[in-house]
Chain A
Amino acid sequence: MSRGRTSTRIQYAIFPLLLVSASSGAQNASPSSSDHPQEIIIQLVEQIKQLQQQDHDLQERIKNLEARQPQTSPVTQADPASPSIPPQDAEQTAPPPAPPAAPHDWHAERGIQWRGFGELNYKVLNQRKPELGTYGFVPGSAGNFYTGDFGLFLTSRLTAKASVLSEIVFQEGDAQSYSLRLRRMLLKYDYSDHLKMSFGRYQTNIGYYNWAFRSAAWLQTTADRPLVMEYARNGGLLPTQAIGVSVTGAVPSGKLGLNYVAEYGSSDTIRPDINGDGGLNDYNNGNQVNVGFFLRPEAAHGLQIGASFYHDKISNFDKGPSIREGESIVNGYIVYTAHGIEFLNEGFLIRDAALDLRDDVFNTPAFYSQFSKQLGRMRPFLRYQYVNASPNNLIYDDVGLRQGPSFGARYDLNSYIAFTAQLDHTVRRGEPDLNGLQLQLAFTF
C-alpha cells in the first residue's frame, strides 16, 4: 500500500520534471535544431528513458531502505494529551537511524491511565459583606485569586467488563490550605449496554449537570456550577455524592433511546451556610434511593430529556436523635447539545420537613437555564438561575430567594486550555443585589 502510494507520488513528480526539462530543452535548442523536430523527439525520448531509469533506481533504493527498516508501530492510540501524529510521506521520511522499536501491541490497554484537570480563578464581588468562601475564594475580599479544584482522574481496566475509576481532588480552602478528597472511587462492571453497574463512591445522578460535567471546570462552559448543582460541601442544595451501588443502562425502546438509572447508597451530607454566618447543616442522611430515566430520541440528535426521583431521610435533632424526616427531590430536564449549540434546562423541587418541633413541610423550587453557541474558538453563554427557599426552612434559610443572570464567554486557546470570563448579577431576598466578575483559566492534561 505504502509502496503503491510512493510509486504514484514519484510518477506525479516526474510530470513537472518533464515539463521543466521540455521547456528548458526548448529554450536551449539551437535555431538549427528547431528546424529538425525529429531530433527534438529523439532528445525527449532519451530524457524520458533517463527519468525512467532514475525512477527505477529510486524504487530500488526505497526497497532497500524498507528492508533495513525495523517494524514500527502501525497505529497511534488517540491521546488527548498529545496531538495526533499526521501521516508522513515515505519520500519525506528520513532514513531511520532507528533503534529497533518494539512492535505495537494492539491490545495494550492495561495499566493505569491518568488525566488531570486544573483551574486558576479570579473573582471580585461588589459587596464586601462576606458570603461563603468556596474553592479558596476569600469571603469579604475585594477580589482574589484561587485555584479551586485540582483533580486527578485515573482509570484501569481489569477485565473486558470490569474496570476501576477514581477521582482524587485537591481543593483549596481557607488560607491557601488544601484538602484531599476522594470524590469518586468506583469498581465498574459493564455486563452489557443494558446493565452497567458501579460500586463505591459515586456522584448521584440527580439531574443532567452532575452527570455531564462531573467536577471538571474545563468541561463546563461557565466558570462555575449553578448554585443548585453546586457540591453540597460548597453550599449546594443537593446531596451530590453517596457510597453504594449505581446501575444504569439502555432499555430496548427502538428509536426512542430510553435509558434508566437506579442508585442505592448512603449519604452523609454536611452543607455550610452560604450567607457567611459559619453555620453547618448536618443532614445525617440515611440510605438514599434515586431512580431516573432519560431519552435520547434518534429523530432529534443532541436532544436529551430526563427525570429523576430521589428520596432519603434526614435526622431531626430538635425532636430527638432518632427522629427522621423525609426528604424528596424531583428533577426534570430538557437538554440540547449539537451543531455547536448547548441549551440546558433543568428544574428541581426539593421537598423536606422543617427540622424543628413543628411538622411543617417545605417545597424549595429551583431551576437554571443555560444557552451557549460555539463561534470558532469562542463560546458566548447566558445563564439564568433561580432558587427560592423559605426563610422558615431551617435547612435552606441561608439561601432564601436567589435569582439572576450570568453571561460571558469561554475562549478555547487550544484543545487543552480554556479561558472564561463571566459576569453575574444575583438578586437576593432581604439583601442587596450581588454583582460579580469571574475570570477562569481551566485546563486538562
Chain B
Amino acid sequence: MGVKSMLAGLLLGLALLSLAPPATAQAGDMAVVVSPANPATNISLGDLRKFFAGAKTSWPSGLPIKLITRAPGCMERLVLLKLLAMSEREYKQYWTAQVFRGDADAEPLTVPSVGMQKEALKVFPGAISLVNIADVKPGMKVIKVDGHLPGEPGYPVH
C-alpha cells in the first residue's frame, strides 16, 4: 500500500510538472540580439526604441537595420510593445502609418520561432531582435543595453 501511494504520488508530481509551461514563456530579461557579423556591442535604450519604432534605419556602421519581431502573444512581442508604450492594435496602426507616410518600406519581419529568429540573423547582417534570455542560441550575438548585459542589475529590457 505504501509503495503504491509513493508511486502514485511520484507519477502525480511528474504529471503536474509536465503541465508546467516551458521555460520560454517565463518572464525575464529579454536579450537584444544581432548578427555575429554586426560590430555593435552596445546600444542605448533610446536608440533601441528608435530602432524598433523605425525612427532609425541604419546602424552607426552604416548597415541597414532589419527588424525581426515575434508573433503577437509571445513574451518577446509583449516586451517590445512595453518598450514602445503601445498596445498590439496601436502597434499595427503605427506601422501602417509608417509605411503610408513613406517613412518605412514595410512592417518589421515577423517570425514564429526562435530558430527562425536565428536564421534571420544569419541572413540579414543588420538584423536586430529581442529574444528571451533562456532561448539565446549560438549564432545570436547578445549586445549590451545602456552598458548592461541581460541578467545584470540595471538591465532595462524585460
Contact = CB atoms under 8 A, between A and B. Distances in A.
B112 A339 contact: no
Contacts of A23: 8
Given A26-B8, A41-B3, A339-B85, A155 B99 contact: yes
Nearest to A16: B15
B18 A11 contact: yes
Interface string B89-129: 11011011101111001111111111110011001100000
Interface string A129-164: 000000000000000000000000101010010010
Contact of A22 (B8, B99, B112, B124): B8
B110 A76 contact: yes
Interface residues of B, number: 60
Given A11-B18, A115-B99, A163-B105, A87 B58 contact: no
Contacts of A214: 100-101
Contacts of A85: 71, 112
A258 to B, nearest CB: 12
B148 interface: no
Contact of B92 (A14, A34, A80): A80
Interface stretch (A296-304, A360-368, A390-398): A296-304
Interface string A60-79: 00000000000000111111
A153 B1 CA distance: 75
Interface stretch (A187-195, A223-231, A260-268, A425-433): A187-195
Contacts of A184: 102
Nearest to A79: B107
B87 A340 contact: yes
B85 A37 contact: no
B153 interface: no
Contacts of A298: 44-46, 49
Interface string B55-85: 1111000101000010111000000000011
Most buried by B among A75, A250, A302: A75
Contacts of A444: 96
A216 B100 contact: yes
A1 B113 contact: yes
Q: Is the interface of A mostly helix, strand, loop or mixed?
A: mixed
Contact of B109 (A75, A157, A198): A75
Given A34-B1, A74-B116, A106-B124, A415 B89 contact: yes
A213 B4 CA distance: 70
A325 interface: no
A22 to B, nearest CB: 5
B11 interface: yes
Interface in A286-334: 296, 298, 301-302
A160 B22 contact: no
A87 B93 contact: no
Interface in B1-55: 1, 3-4, 7-8, 11-12, 14-15, 17-19, 22, 44-46, 49-50, 55
Contacts of A55: none
B134 interface: no
Contacts of B18: 11-16
Contacts of A186: 102
Contact of B58 (A37, A86, A163, A192): A192
Contacts of B72: 84
Contact of B95 (A44, A80, A107, A412): A80
A249 to B, nearest CB: 11
B97 A213 contact: yes
Nearest to A18: B11
B11 A19 contact: yes
Contacts of B99: 115, 155
Interface in A248-276: 250, 255, 257
Contacts of A34: 1, 4
Contacts of A280: none
A301 B3 contact: no
Given A155-B99, A296-B55, A160 B64 contact: yes
Most buried by A among B1, B4, B12: B4
Nearest to B60: A193
A113 B4 CA distance: 66
Nearest to B22: A8
Contact of A77 (B62, B64, B106): B106
A90 to B, nearest CB: 11
20 contacts: A12-B19, A15-B18, A19-B12, A34-B4, A40-B3, A75-B109, A76-B110, A76-B112, A79-B107, A80-B95, A84-B71, A84-B112, A109-B105, A211-B101, A216-B100, A219-B96, A255-B46, A338-B86, A374-B87, A415-B93
Given A86-B112, A155-B105, A298-B44, 9 more contacts: A2-B113, A18-B14, A22-B11, A75-B120, A78-B69, A78-B107, A106-B120, A109-B106, A374-B87
